[in-house]
Amino acid sequence: MAFRGIYRFSNMAVGLRVFGNAAKMRRFSISSALHEPRLFRFPMRWSQTFIPTMKEVPAEAEVPSHQLMLRAGMIRQLMAGAYTWLPLGYRAVRKVSEIVRQEMDRAGAVELFMPALQPIEIFERTGRRDAFGNVLFNFEARRGDRKLHFALGPTHEEVITDLMARHISSYRQMPITLYQIQTKFRNEERPRFGVLRTSEFLMKDAYSFGTSLEQLNTAYDAMYNAYCRIFERCGLKYLPVEAESGPIGGDASHEFMVPASNGEDFVIHCPACSYAANQERAETGRKSILPTPVTNAPAPALVPTPDAGSIEQVSKLLKSSPQAFIKTLIYKADGKPVAVLLRGDHTANEGKIRRAAKATSVELADEATILQVTTAPVGFAGPIGILCPCLIDHDVANISSAIVGANAKDAHLTGVIPGTHFPVTETFDLRNAEAEDPCPRCSDTLRMVHGIEVGHVFKLGTKYSVSMDARYVDAQEVSHPIIMGCYGIGVTRVVASIVETCHDENGIIWPLSVAPCSVMLIPLNVTDPEVMKVSERIYQELTDAGVDVLMDDRDQRPGFKFKDADLIGIPLRITIGGKGLAEGIAEVKWRGSAETMKPAIADTTAFVREQLAGRS
RNA sequence: CGGGCUAUAGCGCAGCCUGGCUAGCGCGCUUGACUGGGGGUCAAGAGGUCAUGGGUUCAAAUCCCGUUAGCCCGACCA
C-alpha cells in the first residue's frame, strides 16, 4: 500500500493548510515516488482494490485489445474517444511511462512538463491551425471583459519552440533534447479500437535543438536507438519503417510499427534485406520498360459509358477487370495541371507524384481544371488528346490493350495500346507499393503487413524555428535558425499494442516488464485458516522484497479465480490450496506456460524471486 | 464529413414486424443454505423515466417524425 502511505504522510505533513498547498504537496510526493524504486510497487488485495472484470464481451468492442482491456477491468469508456484508466490499466501505463522515462534519460534527454492548454495564436504563427483543421480542439473563454482563444495541445512543437526561442541565443547552449510525457488532445473524426485511437491520449514527445545537421543526426540516432530499447523492453515486436513526414514537415523520419492484424497502417517490408517503409513512403523496385509502338494497330474503339465515371462502374458495364484500365488523374503540380496515368487497380501516391513532377506541392485538380484539360466532366479523362503533360506509372506501359477515358462525356476508349496510341517516353513510380512488388533494394519481393504506429521520429529541420523565430548566433556572430527534431511515442497506444499482441483465448499475457504487477497470489480457499496463514506470509515476504503482488483474497470458487487470473494476465501465479498444503508445496506457474512448478512452501518466496530475476 | 446499424436492469440479449394484463431471459448483484482445484447448486430478493422530445391511438418498448448518444464501413489522420 505504498500510495496509501504517501497520502497519509502528506496529509500529516500538510495538516490543515489551505487546499492549494495541500494539492501541491501531494503532487510532489507522488512524482518523487516515481523515482523511488522501493515505493514503485503494487501490493494489493483484490478485495480492497478496484478490478471490475467481466465474463462477457461488451458489444462495442471488436478488436482483442479493446475486448480484453474492458473485460480485465483496465479501462472504461466515458464517451467516444475518451477512456478512464482503472487501477490495473493505469498501472501498466505507469510501467510503460517509467521505461520510456528511463530510456529518455539514458539517451541524454531532459524531462519537463508543458501546458496542454495553449493560446491559439502560436498555431497561427506556424500555420498549423489550418493544417490541423478540425483535429485541433479550440475554444474561447471569457476573462473579465476579454475573450481568449485557446487550443488543447495535439503536440507541443509550438510551445517548446517558443520556449527555446526565448532562452537560446548562442550555439554554446546546444545541442539539447527535451521531453515530456503529457496528455495530448486530437479531435479524432472517428475514434475507434478502444484505447488505440482516442481523442485524448498519453504521449511522450521529445524535441531536439541543435546548430548543425550533424547535431540533428546525432540526436535523431540517439532517439532512434532509445526507441528500439523501449519497445524491446516493453516486450513488443516492432519494425522501424521509413516514413513520409506528413504535415509536420521535414525530410526524414521513421515510424515504429507493431505488426498486428488489426493495425490501421500498412507496412511494406522485404524479408530478405530488411527494407521496411510505410505504404505512403515505400518505393518499389519496378523498372521502366518503354513499349515499342505496334504497327498496323487498329484504332481504339469508342464505347458509350453513360453516367459511368468510376473504374468500378465502367468495369462492371464493360465486363472487364480494373487491371485493364488506365486511370487518368488530373493533378495540379505547383498550380499547373498534369495528368497521372496509373493502372486501374492501383492507388496514386502524392509524394511520388510530387517528386516526379519536380513540384513543391501537388493536389487533385478541381472540376474546372479537369474540364479544361479533358474537355469532359470528371470521370472521363484519358491520355489520348489530353491538353496537359502526362506522368506515366511503370505498370501502365505493360498493359497491352487498355480501357481509358475518351476525354468526352459518357464515353471510353477500348483497345488502347500505350506507346502506340499515346506517347510513352518515360515512366515513373507513382503509386503505392503493394505486396509482391519487387524490392527496391534487393531481388526479393515485398510483403505487406498491418501495423500499429507506436512511435515516430522526425528530422524537422528549421520549419518551426523559422516560423517561431528561434535563432542562435554562431561563433562568428552570424544568426541562424535552430535545427530541430521531434520524437513521439504513444504511451497509451503502446499499452494497447502489448495487449493486442500478447494474449491467448483466456486473456492477456503481460510481459513481465510492463505487467501491472509481477505476481498473482491465489489462496484457493480464504475460509481455510492454514491456507490464509501461508498466503499472508508469502504476500508479506514478497512485498517486503519489493515484488508487486496482487493477492486474490476474494471468497470465490477456485475456477472463478483462475479464470480471472488468466484474464488479467499477471505473469507469475502462485496458488496456495489444500492439496498442495498437504504435500507441503505451493504451485507456481507462468501465465504463458502450461508447466506448474512446485516449490516447498517454505522456499516459495525465494523460488519466486529467482523465477522473476531469471526473466528480467 | 458521407453511407449503414443500434439504443430495453451493471454486462449480453429477447420482446417491436402484427400496439393490449404486472416488460422478460442468461450472467452479474443481495440474503441464506449447501458446496469448495478451472466462471458450482438450491431457495428467496433487489434492480427498468424501454436513450430523449413530440405525434398517431381508447391504449405505444412496439407505429410515425425530430433530437442525442454509441458502433461499423469509407474519407481523414503528428
Domain that holds residue A562: 519-615
What is the pLDDT averaged over residues A408-420?
A: 91
Q: Smallest CA–C1' separation from A61: which nucleotide? A: B71
Q: pLDDT tens, A374-386?
A: 888 888 889 999 9
Q: Which pLDDT belongs to residue A281?
A: 86
Percent of all residues in chain A with a pLDDT value above 70, rounded to a whole number: 92
Distance from residue A566's CA to nucleotide B38's C1', rounded to whole Å: 10
Q: Domain check: are A310 and A402 in the same one?
A: yes
Q: What is the mean pLDDT of residues A266-277?
A: 92
Max distance between CA atoms of chain A, in angstroms, equals 99
H helical segments located in A234-336 = 311-318
The predicted structure's pLDDT at residue A246: 53
How does pLDDT run across A105-141, given as a tens digit for each residue?
A: 999 999 999 999 999 999 999 999 988 988 999 999 9
Q: Which residue is nearest to nucleotide B40 (CA to C1')?
A: A557
Please indicate, yes or no, if residue A594 is contained in any of the structural domains: yes
A477 shares a domain with A549? no
- Check whether A89 has a pLDDT greater than 50: yes
- Within a domain: A81: no
For residue A91, being part of any structural domain is answered with no
Reported confidence tier of residue A155, pLDDT bands at 50, 70, 90: very high
Residues A204 and A329 reside in one and the same domain: no
Banded model confidence at residue A554, pLDDT cuts 50, 70, 90: very high
What integer pLDDT is reported at residue A251 of this predicted model? 55
**A177-196 pLDDT tens trace:** 999 999 999 998 889 899 99
Q: What is the mean pLDDT of chain A?
A: 89
What's the order of all strands across the beta sheet hosting A146-152?
A: A117-119, A146-152, A138-143
Measure the CA–CA gap between A544 and A38, rounded to whole angstroms.
9
ipTM comes to 0.93
Counted domains in chain A:
4
Give the pLDDT band (50/70/90) at residue A42: low
Same domain, A204 and A274: yes
pLDDT for the residue A40: 53
Shared domain check, A605 and A525: yes
Do A546 and A489 share a structural domain?
no
Nucleotides of B under 7 A from a protein CB: 1-2, 11-13, 26-28, 35-40, 69-78
Say if A600 falls within a structural domain: yes
Q: Which nucleotide is nearest to A565 if distance is taken from CA to C1'?
A: B38
Q: Nearest nt (C1') to A82 (CA)?
A: B70
Grid coordinates in use for A290? Answer: 518503354
Domain boundary among A416, A434, A464: A416
Considering the domain architecture, whether residues A237 and A111 belong to the same structural domain is answered as: yes
Looking at residue A451, which CATH number applies to its domain?
Answer: 3.30.930.10
Is the domain of A112 the same as that of A203? yes
pLDDT at A76: 94
Tell me the CA–C1' distance in angstroms for A243 and B29: 51
Q: Mean of the pLDDT values across residues A606-613?
A: 97
A431 falls within a domain: no
Asked if the structure places residue A264 within a domain, the reply is yes
Average pLDDT, stretch A75-102? Answer: 95
Whether residues A388 and A491 fall in one domain: no
- pLDDT interval class at A498 (50, 70, 90): very high
Q: Is residue A123 part of a domain?
A: no
- According to the model, what pLDDT value does residue A515 have? 96
Same domain, A273 and A356: no
Question: At how many degrees (to 10) do helices A529-544 and A604-615 cross?
Answer: 40
Q: How far, CA to CA in Å, does A255 sit from each of A211, A236, A309, A335, A379?
A: 25, 14, 37, 31, 36
Domain end: A360, A394, A416, which one? A416
Q: Which of A13-17, A243-247, A314-318, A596-600 has the lowest mean pLDDT?
A: A13-17
> Per the domain annotation, does A64 fall within a domain?
no
At A306, the pLDDT band (50, 70, 90 cuts) reads confident
H-only helix segments in A234-366: 311-318, 350-356
Statement to judge: residues A270 and A208 lie in one domain: yes
What's the CA–C1' distance between A557 and B51, in Å?
A: 38
Residue that is written with C-alpha cell 545537421 in the block? A213
A574: domain CATH number is: 3.40.50.800
Q: Are A489 and A593 within one domain? A: no
